[in-house]
Amino acid sequence: MGQKLAERWLTLLVLPGAFFLATATVARVLGHADALDIHRLTDHITSWAKAPAVNSVGGQVVLLLALLAASGAVGLGAQGLGTLVRRAALAVGWRTWPRPLRQWAQARVTARRTGWDRAFRHYRMQLDADARTLALHSRRADPAARHAAYQALRCIATEPPDRPTWSGDRIHAVSVRLERDHHIDLPTVWPYLWLVLPDGTRSEITAAEQALTRATTLAGWSLLYAPLTVWWWPAAPLSAALFLTARHRFRGSIDTYAQLMEASARLHLTDLTTQLGIDHTGPVDAVLGEALTQHVRPRTPRYTAGES
């Protein structure tokens, strides 16, 4: 366990942090005018290597410890920024954001809902056209147009948008579907469901969540590299590349995580009902979902006048 923690500390914090510090040093030394001047950089490194403090064993030890500490601190900063990126991207409580951000989020939700309604109407029209083709000609229409319409709809959201981001809506869609199909309040039921999931299922969900964390940490690194563009222009494409990569990985991880959550809920809700002693036969239906939600939902505190 200790060895694994040390490896994770080295690979996730120290090495990326050391690379960032090296990049920051290059940015400060070269600047915009000599951004790609390798000879100037090597001259500076050579002069630093000749410093008396670096030539002594004690100085080298102190320098190494300082480098490790600084690299770890920068890595923790990137993880902290990644957490903020994740919260902003999922936008769970956007209605409680400060007013300017809340107004922006509301405008985004409205615009996304307008686009989604338009794409949904087009998808429904394509479904109706395919149904008419089947009824009139006794053959199925080419599904390419229908699939394209559905992908256009899914690029906006899989359910009517309620959040300002695609990622937030992708997670929210799981709760919407389970509430609509089975009357399950997923935020209430999920902690109980997690405890009865098989180890293999929980491992898959945990792996997806870890991939999500790595993607947001990469976004945090992109934010750290962005200010270096003030001194060194190559930091701009580096920051942009990190951000685009993080965005691609984040959306893929979100989609996988949402699919696993929904699939595990639909597959194992009956296991939870058995554990709770709720009698039921057959697949999960709305009656069972309502009973399960009410069973695990905490009761509202009773208030008596005069009590403090």
Asked whether the predicted pLDDT for residue 106 surpasses 70, the reply is yes
Question: Of the given ranges (50-54, 79-83, 186-190, 248-252), which has the lowest mean pLDDT?
Answer: 50-54
Question: pLDDT class for 203, splitting at 50, 70, 90?
Answer: very high
Q: What is the pLDDT, as a whole number, of residue 47?
A: 74
Question: Of the given ranges (32-36, 51-55, 69-73), which has the lowest mean pLDDT?
Answer: 51-55
Alpha-carbon distance 299 to 308, whole Å? 19
- Cβ burial of 29 (10 Å; 0-12, 13-18, 19+) is middle
Asked whether the predicted pLDDT for residue 252 surpasses 90, the reply is yes
Q: Which of 243, 234, 238 is nearest to 215 (CA)?
A: 243
Q: pLDDT tens digits, residue range 215-227?
A: 999 999 999 999 9
Q: What is the pLDDT, as a whole number, of residue 7?
A: 62
Angle between helical axes of 186-196 and 166-182 (0-180°, round to 10): 80
Q: Residue 148 is encoded by which pair of tokens?
A: 């394209």
Read off the pLDDT of each residue in 187-215 and give the average, rounded to a whole number.
94
For tokens 């102190």, name the residue: 62
Read off the pLDDT of each residue in 91-119 and give the average, rounded to a whole number.
95
User: How many residues are there in the chain?
Assistant: 308
260, 215 contact by CB (below 8 A): no
Share of the chain above pLDDT 70, in %: 92
Q: What is the pLDDT, as a whole number, of residue 282?
A: 79
- DSSP track, 176-229: HHHHHHH---HHHHHHHHHHHS-HHHHHHHHHHHHHHHHHHHHHHHHHHHGGGG
Question: pLDDT class for 57, splitting at 50, 70, 90?
Answer: confident
235, 23 contact by CB (below 8 A): yes
Distance (Å) of CA 299 to CA 179, 190, 219, 278: 20, 17, 41, 18
Nearest-Å Rg of the Cα atoms of the chain is: 27
pTM of the complete model: 0.85
Question: pLDDT class for 82, splitting at 50, 70, 90?
Answer: very high
Share of the chain above pLDDT 90, in %: 59
Q: What are phi and psi of 18, to 5 degrees?
A: -65, -40
Q: pLDDT tens digits, residue range 129-175?
A: 888 887 887 778 878 888 999 999 999 999 999 999 999 999 999 99
- Cβ burial of 288 (10 Å; 0-12, 13-18, 19+) is buried
